[in-house]
Structure 1
C-alpha cells in the first residue's frame, strides 16, 4: 500500500485525538476513548479494531498474527497511556517491521505517552534488510578480557577482542567499553565504533529525556536505568550506523526515536520515511555546524600521557586465574 494511503488511514484512525494529544503535550487532559472504541471491550483489546491499519503498515514478510501475539502482553502495561499514542506507537513499530517482543523493539509508557523504541537488535536487523551490510559484530569489553585497539592499523588487525567466556562475571570485572563494526558487500569492513562507559553516561545524561524525567520523578524506570548494558550497546551500534551506507528506512528510524525524545509524534516520521530522513540529515548538519563554532581549540597531546576517555590495551601476558 502506498505511503500516502497509509498516511490517510492513520490520520483517520486517530481522528478523534485532539491536536494537543497528537502533539504529545504531557500532563494535559486528553480524550481517553479512540474512534470506534466499544465500551464493552475488555481492557485495551480495542487495538484489535485497528488491525487493518496495522496490517497495512507491516512489510509483506512480517506476519500480522506474529506481530499481534508479541504485542498483546505489552498492552496492559500501556493502560494509563493516551489511546492515540498507543495506536501511533503500534503503527510506528509495524511500519519498520520490528516485532515488539523486547528483542527487536519495545513499546513502553513514558509519562502517559506510549513510545516505540528499537533495540540494538532492531537496528542491526534493518541494516541487514538494506542489503548493504552483510554482518554486524558488537559486544562489551570487560576488565578481564584480552583486547587490542589500534585505529591506525589496517582492518581487521586494528581491533581484536578475546573474551574469557569461561570466567565468572566477577572475574571479568566491569564493562570498559562497547564496540560495533560491520562487514559490507564485497568484503569491506567498516571502522570500529567505540563507546566508553563514560561516553554512554554522557549520551544518556545529555540526550535521553526519558532518563531525565525518570530521575526527576524518582521512578528510575527508563531503559537507561533498567537495561544500561543494552543501551550502551545500542549507542555503539547507532554510532557505527553513521559509518556504513544507510537506507532511508534506517535514517528514518533515527528520526523517529529523536521525535520521541523531543516529545513529538513518532508516527509522522514513520509514515513518511524519506522526508524524515532528509530532516534528520538536516538537523545533524545544523548541529555539526553549531558544534564547529563552539568547539574549543584542542589541546596538544602530552608525550607519554593517556586519554581518560579512550580504552587502553590490556596486558596479554597477565597471570591467568
Structure 2
C-alpha cells in the first residue's frame, strides 16, 4: 500500500535499509561473484535477485499518484550497470529515496548514478521544478538560459515584471545564438505575484561546482570525470539558478528535504537517512541540543542562591505597645 507523506515513506523501509547496510558491509569484506568490485555490468541473475528482494520496498515508498510499474520500467534497464559498479545497499537506498520523492529515474525528472561504488540519487532541474509546485502556492516556474544572440534586459530596481525580459531568437541556429551567458529562474505565485529573479553566470556556476560539489571533486581526483557536473553541466547550471530561486518563493517540505538529501550525497552520507521532513529534523536537532545542554548542566557546579540579609527581630507595632500600657 502506498504511503501518503514523505515522512511516512521515509519510515517505511527504515528497518530494511539498516539490514541491507549491515549485509552490504559484510558483503564487501567477502565479495561474491555477483558484486565483485570493478565489474561493469551485473548479469541477469543478479538483477533478478535484487528485484526479488527489494522491488516491494521500492514500490511501497512511492506516493499514490505514481504507478509502481512506471517507476520500475525506468529503473530496471539501469540495474545491470548500477549493480555491476555499486553496492547493492546503495542501489537500494538511491532507488527508495528517489521513489519517496515521487520522481521517475528516467533522466528527465531524476537520475541514479555511480559515485565510486556508491549509487546516488540526483533530481534534475525538471524534478526540482516539479517539487516546487507541491507547495500549492506556486502557479508556474520559469527557468531558462540566455544566449549571446538573444534579446534580454535586466534592471533589478524596476518593478516586476519589467525588471527582467528575455526574448530568445528561436529561429536562429545554435551557432547564431552563440554561447550561453547566464541561467535564470523565477516563479509566479498564486494571486499573480512574481518572485525575484535568480541569475547565475557561468563563473558563478563553476564556483558553486568547485566549492560545494564533493562528487565533482571526487570525480576529478579519481580521473573518472563522471559526476553530473561533468556529464550534464548545463542542467546543473539551470538547477543552481532554481536552487537560488527556491529561497525566494514558498516551498514544499519535500523540496526542503530534497536539498538535505542532495547535500548528504555530496558529504558521502546515506541519502535515505537524510530524507526526512525538515520540520521533524529541526525538532530532532532541537531535542538533541536540549539533551546535550541538560547533560552539561549536570557537570557544572550550581550557583548558590543569594541569601537575604539577616535582620533582628521585628519590633511590635506601636499600637500593640499602647494597648499594653493601658492595661
Q: TM-score, normalization: structure 1?
A: 0.78
Alignment of 1:183-222 (within 5 A): 183-222=188-227
Does the 8 Å CA contact 1:193/1:239 hold for their aligned counterparts? yes
| Distance across 1 between alignment mates of 2:96 and 2:66 | 13
Counterpart selection for 1:163 from 149, 157, 168: 168
| Distance across 2 between alignment mates of 1:32 and 1:263 | 22
Would you say 1:225 and 2:230 are equivalent positions? yes
Which structure has the greater CA radius of gyration?
2
Runs (5+) with no aligned partner, structure 1: 23-27, 34-39, 281-321
| Distance across 2 between alignment mates of 1:212 and 1:276 | 28
Q: TM-score, normalization: structure 2?
A: 0.76
Shift of 1:41: 6.4
Number of residue pairs the alignment of both structures matches: 271
- Label 1:21 to 1:246 Cα distance change in 2 as closer, same or farther (>3 A): farther
1 or 2, which has the higher helix percentage? 2
Shift of 1:4: 5.8
Q: Which residue of 2 aligns with 1:146?
A: 151
Does the 8 Å CA contact 1:151/1:159 hold for their aligned counterparts? yes
| Distance across 2 between alignment mates of 1:136 and 1:9 | 33
| Distance across 2 between alignment mates of 1:141 and 1:48 | 47
Counterpart selection for 2:66 from 62, 68, 71: 62
Does the 8 Å CA contact 1:183/1:189 hold for their aligned counterparts? yes
Moved more, 192-201 or 168-177: 168-177
Does the 8 Å CA contact 1:47/1:87 hold for their aligned counterparts? no
Describe the SS at the equivalent of 1:50: helix
Moved more, 135-144 or 266-275: 266-275
Counterpart selection for 1:43 from 42, 46, 50: 46
Counterpart selection for 1:256 from 256, 261, 277: 261
- Label 1:55 to 1:17 Cα distance change in 2 as closer, same or farther (>3 A): same
Does the 8 Å CA contact 2:24/2:88 hold for their aligned counterparts? no
Across the aligned residues of Structure 1 and Structure 2, the Cα RMSD in angstroms comes to 2.7
